[in-house]
Amino acid sequence: MPIQTVMTKGKVPVKIYTDEVESAAFQQLYNLSQLPFIHSHIAVMPDVHCGKGATVGSVIPTAGAIIPAAVGVDIGCGMNALRLSIKAHDLPDNLRSLRLFIEAAIPVGFAMHKQDRARQSTVTALAVGLHSILGKHRKLNTMQKKPYQTWVRQLGTLGGGNHFIELCLDENDDVWVLLHSGSRGIGNVMGEYFIALAKKDMGQHLINLPDKDLAYFSEGAAHYDDYLEAVGWAQDYALANRREMMYLICEALRKKLPKFGITKEAINCHHNYVVREEHFGKSVWITRKGAIRAGEGELGIIPGSMGAKSYIVRGKGNPQSFCSCSHGAGRVMSRSAAKKRFDSDDVDAQTRGIECRKDSGVVDEIPAAYKDIDQVMAHQSDLVEIVHTLRQVLCIKG
């Protein structure tokens, strides 16, 4: 579908690929559109919902400034997908033991590996950049216990919230591994630190903003380059985390499944990040807050909830969306609201046929807390085409 709604009250238009937007998200989008450095317009994906400062599902082009809270604190959060060379009939009839085996190999929630598990080449490559950042901002060292050990041992771990590992089947009964994770504890402290620093640097000018969480670093300002260095490092860390985790998952699966290979369809994409791109004749910073790049011919991943389909897509390079599409289904209710409305019996009913936790600890991730993924996909038919439709048979939540 084409753009469904256009907001014109701000300094730039806001072009929205759905007609269902909660009032709080509309206010956030209006606040964003008031900023003086937005280039051309703001694009909003059909999974849009309220976030902190910036709206989840928004694509924000900025010239001469960058907003740390728009990137958020899970810097580089994104998806990784691999198609294996085995079929559905190669999986065991009962997947519970396989789920428990993967959970034993991959720490979830706040947990990390008890010893260094990441490949040394990965650790060495990341350590150089981190040393530079910590040398300039020593407070970051105090925001985590045992910071060096923590970031090394969290490589190849899932995290909590909506992060997940899944085994899925496509329309040909091929087996896929999907995972969703980001930059873990180190990305979180970097995000929080630079969001606070942006507010401090703006000083009295902060009162001129429609929302203090939209504090920004202007090009040439004291910490502008430092933030770009840190956010770039955290994005690299997130990519490496997903690679290491996928490696460990495949190593675990090889012990339980028939011999398999990995196809060329391997995708590793961010959906909370900032990158330099050219749009409408100008080189700008593109912040995708809950959106993935969907350049012409580029493969991406759009997951549903833990009880719905997911999609491998190919971008159409739509310029009005800044070559972007949604990053998932998008929430329709908060975690606290979901916990009040549903219980573990509801989770069991809504995830029937899927091997996953069905206890009270995952009620906030119940499928009913999310938008209908089919409707979200229908609203972005101008942005992507579907390459594979995946249905999960096993899901691990953080």
Contact between residue 227 and residue 235 where contact means Cβ atoms under 8 Å apart = no
Which residue from 144, 163, 148, 154 is spatially nearest to 113, judged by alpha carbons? 154
Q: Has 327 been labeled as part of a binding site?
A: yes
Dihedral (CA of 265, 307, 291, 319) sign: positive
113 is catalytic: no
Residue 235 identity (one-letter amino acid): Q
Q: Has 166 been labeled as part of a binding site?
A: yes
- Could you give the C-alpha distances from 181 to 30, 130, 138, 241, 284, in angstroms and in order? 29, 20, 26, 8, 26
Q: Has 330 been labeled as part of a binding site?
A: yes
Q: Has 300 been labeled as part of a binding site?
A: no
For 102, the 3-state DSSP assignment is helix
Q: Has 94 been labeled as part of a binding site?
A: no
Q: Has 397 been labeled as part of a binding site?
A: yes
Q: Has 236 been labeled as part of a binding site?
A: no
Pick the catalytic residue: 113, 270, 327, 388?
Answer: 327
Kindly give, in sequence order, each residue whose CB lies less than 8 Å from that of residue 392, ignoring residues fewer than 6 positions away. Answer: 166, 167, 168, 178, 306, 310, 354
Q: Has 162 been labeled as part of a binding site?
A: yes
For 314, the 3-state DSSP assignment is strand
Question: Each residue of 189-203: b (16+ CB within 10 Å) or e?
Answer: bbbbbbbebbbebbe
Q: Has 306 been labeled as part of a binding site?
A: yes
Dihedral (CA of 21, 26, 32, 33) sign: positive
Q: Has 329 been labeled as part of a binding site?
A: yes
Residue 165 identity (one-letter amino acid): I
- Residues 352, 307: Cα–Cα separation, whole Å: 8
Q: Has 180 been labeled as part of a binding site?
A: yes
Contact between residue 151 and residue 186 where contact means Cβ atoms under 8 Å apart = yes
Cα–Cα–Cα angle for 60, 62, 66, nearest 5°?
A: 95
Kindly give, in sequence order, each residue whose CB lies less than 8 Å from that of residue 88, ignoring residues fewer than 6 positions away. Answer: 169, 173, 175, 393
Element (H, E) at 258: none
For 341, the 3-state DSSP assignment is helix
Kindly give, in sequence order, each residue whose CB lies less than 8 Å from that of residue 358, ignoring residues fewer than 6 positions away. Answer: 344, 347, 348, 351
- Residues 245, 231: Cα–Cα separation, whole Å: 21
Q: Has 26 been labeled as part of a binding site?
A: no
Q: Has 164 been labeled as part of a binding site?
A: yes
* Residues in binding site for Mn(2+): 74, 163, 180, 271
Binding-site sequence positions for GMP: 162-166, 271-272, 303-306, 310, 327-330, 397
- Annotated catalytic residues are 327
Annotated binding site: 74, 162-166, 180, 271-272, 303-306, 310, 327-330, 397
